[in-house]
Structures are given as structure tokens and as C-alpha cells.
Structure 1
Amino acid sequence: MPSIYLYITDTLADWECGHVLAELHSGRFLKDPSCRHDLVLCGRTMDPQTTMGGVLMVPKVLFTDIHPKTGDLVLLPGADTWLDPAQGPVIEKIRMLLDEGVVVAAICGATMALANAGLLDKRPHTSNDLAALKMFCPGYHGEEYYSDDPAATDGNLITAGSFAPVEFATHIFRRLDVMSPETLAAWHGLFTTRKPIFFYALMESLPKRA
């Protein structure tokens, strides 16, 4: 079973990774439902963390100790704590994972931390706002690679703004190749337009299962 390594930190933005977790863990729309992902909560320390929504989450492993394999996902949700210097060891681990080809997906505040560490200087990316990156991330020098799209994929790195959890999930599903093109198109259409036609298309796209 592949894994989602979800980095948890205080003030984690609950809504930003909901679609990703629900679909990859349940497997309900995957090409192969048996490839549903295990969820591994990772922390900078082993202390419990509280999300913006008040959910208490307890790490299973230190983030610096994880060893993702092919097919795994390292998921970095937004939080108000990403620019804290204490996140330094986590950022360095992310740098290592990106160099190793691990699929890393960062949204909202997590993209700011990557930007500040210079990890977005030479690769296409997006975030909440270019001006905000330049204002709050003195280590950022990747303006020429910034995209105004809600989400962006560059090789094994996926980035998105806080307002784009559906697009974030869509890019992740496409990069991991876990949904058929027809299923992914219908899934995206349903959650962006809310039109019933996409629900029926989604159901029709699924393989018939005994």
C-alpha cells in the first residue's frame, strides 16, 4: 500500500488537503481501489498539533525520519507556522526529498516556506500571491517562474494557493496517475461546477467491479 506522508504542524489549514486525503485513502475513484494510500502523520517533533479547526493530531513519526518510496506522496498543508525558523530541519528534509524525486505537494503557507528556502527559484510554481512571496520571503528569487494558475506541477513538485484545494488535488491525482483521465475530468468538473452531469459522468467512468 502506498503512503501519504502528511506533515502536521500547529494551525494546519484543515480544508486544504481534504480532497487529497479522502480520495487517496478511500480509493473510491482510483483506477485500482486496492492502491488506496495509507496515511502517516509526521511532525517536526512528536508533540500533538492542533489544526485551525481545532482538531488534535498526533504524529506517528518524525518528518526527518521518513523514507518515501515510489508511489508515495509527501503532503505539505498550509499553516501560520511555516516561516518559523524552527521549521529549518523540515525544510532541509524536503530539499532532500525533492532531489531524490519524491512527489512533494505544497499548498498555501508551505509554498512560502519552500520559496524562502530558495526551492522555487528555478522551477515553475504558484502560491497565494506573488507580491506576498516577495514581501514575506526574503530568500525568494523565483519571480520569473511564478504562475498565476491556481496550481502548478513541475516534475515531482506540486504547488497551489489556499483557494485552490480542488485544483491542488487534481494535479496530485494526475501526477500520481491514480485516476483514469475520464474519471479525473469528471471529478474536477463535479467539484468546480457542481453540475449533476459530472456526477453521472464520474459514475460512468468507473470500471465495473464485481
Structure 2
Amino acid sequence: MNANEHTTVHLAVYDTLADWEVGYVTAHINNETWQQTPGRYKIQTVSVGLDPVTTAGGLRVLPDSLLAELKPADSAMLILPGNDLWPTDAYKPYVDKAREFLDAGVPVAAICGATGALALAGLLDDRAHTSNAAAFLDSLGYAGGQHYKEEHVVVDRDLITAGANAPVEFARAIFERLELYKAPVLDSWYKLYGEQDPAGFYELMSA
């Protein structure tokens, strides 16, 4: 088994990436404090090129690796944040890579506009899913409307989808799929960040 197999979580980065939608994900995968197996995973950014990209918040990110060289067998998951590129040809390589991952049985997590791109590509036609709103996806003329769920996050087989207003739920679903935390720790994590219950903090401190 190669050193990266099933240990690297790949975060797609591109101009207009919505910083706030993946902040919980990146920060907590890289924080080993409460993890079930500390150090098992690492985040690696991936993009169509190696030039710096500028996020929606104006941060400049230097990609670690090239999308074209990414193989599903070398990844634990591909995460697609929201962005303004999703309805354009510039986003097609990311959709193609998501299809490759799903065909290989490797998880993909998409939030906000990234779900729109997957819808346009037909990747939501036969999977339960969610997004920013049913009307958002319906406006695209996709064929998966009967599978839409009015929920913060939906997991169907190897696909995690979420709306822009659910970054905490998106993170929780990713952590659960990766088995990053034991169940009681994940419950306390969500109690703190999702329910804003300070009891979650003290539970985490004693974990």
C-alpha cells in the first residue's frame, strides 16, 4: 500500500472558493486533539494548475498538487467547496474528477454551488441529495428533483451534499464518513459547534 492510500483528504481549491464552507473541515482534520487515530489523515489541496488561487474571502492559496494527477486510489475523499465557477467550463475538470471518484467508490463531498455542478452533470439524478434550495437545482433543469431532500446534509452511498448554510453539518458528515472521531466525541463536537451548547466544550475537554 502506498503511503498516501486512504490517508489524504483532497480539498479542491479554485478562484472564488467559499472559505467559510470548509473552515470546520480543514481545521479539525488538521487538529489531532480528539481524533480516534491521531495523524491518520492530512489535507492536501488540489487544483487544475499550481498557480495561486484567490478565495471568495481574498485569501491566496498555493495548491499542493495537480487535479489531473490525482487518482481515487490515493485519496480518502475529494471535497468540493462552493464557488462561482461551477456553471462554467472552468469547473468541468472538477466534475469529471468527482465522477471518477464516485465510479471508483471513493467518497466525494460537495457543498453549495458545487452541488449545482454535479446536478448539471447528472451525478445527482439517481442519488438522494440536498443543496442550497430545491428551486436552485430545479432552475438548472436537472433530472434528479425527486431525490432532493430538505435537509442540511444528505449522504447517499459515496456522495455527501450540503447547502451553503450548513458548514457544520457538512463537516460532521465528513468526519463521520472518515471515522475521524469516536461517536461520543463527534456528538460533543456537534453539540458545541452545531447546537452552540457550551456543554459540548467541557465534554471535549474531558475526552
* TM beyond 0.5: yes
Per-residue deviation, residues 48-106 of structure 1 (Å, max 9, x unmatched)? 21001111112222212112447712111000111111222221121011110111110
Aligned 1:96-115 pairs, distance under 5 A: 96-115=100-119
127, 133, 144: which is aligned to 1:129? 133
Higher helix share: 1
Residue 120 in 1 paired to residue 135 in 2?
A: no
Alignment partners' CA distance in 2, 1:70 and 1:155: 19
Matches within 5 A, 1:160-175: 160-175=162-177
Gaps of 5+ in 2: none
**Equivalent AA in structure 2 for residue 79 of structure 1:** N
TM-score by length of 1: 0.91
Q: Are 1:85 and 2:62 matched, yes or no? A: no
In 1, are the aligned partners of 2:10 and 2:75 still within 8 Å (CA)?
A: no
Task: Name segments (4+ residues, structure 1) moved above 6 Å.
Answer: none
- Residue 155 of structure 1 corresponds to 157
Whether the aligned pair in 2 keeps the contact of 1:70 and 1:102 (CA below 8 Å) is no
110-119 or 20-29, larger mean C-alpha shift: 20-29
- For residue 192 of structure 1, report the CA deviation from its aligned partner: 2.1
Aligned to 2:61: 57
1:3 corresponds to 2:5 = no
SS in 2 for 1:125: coil
TM-score normalized with structure 2 length: 0.92
Shift of 1:41: 1.4
Distance 2:93 2:18 in 1: 21
Give the letter for the 2:19 counterpart: D
Distance 1:62 1:71 in 2: 13
**Contact 1:64 1:90 survives alignment (8 Å):** no
SS at match of 1:110: helix
Per mean C-alpha deviation after superposition, the further-off stretch among 178-187 and 64-73 is 64-73
How far 1:197 sits from its partner (Å)?
Answer: 1.3
Per the alignment, residue 27 of structure 2 pairs with 22
Distance (Å, rounded) in 2 between the aligned partners of 1:70 and 1:156: 16
Q: Please state how far the C-alpha of 1:156 moved relative to its aligned partner.
A: 1.2
- Structure 1: give runs of 5+ residues left out of the alignment: none
Q: How many residues align?
A: 202
Deviates further, 58-67 or 117-126: 58-67
- Range moving further from structure 2, 177-186 or 82-91: 82-91
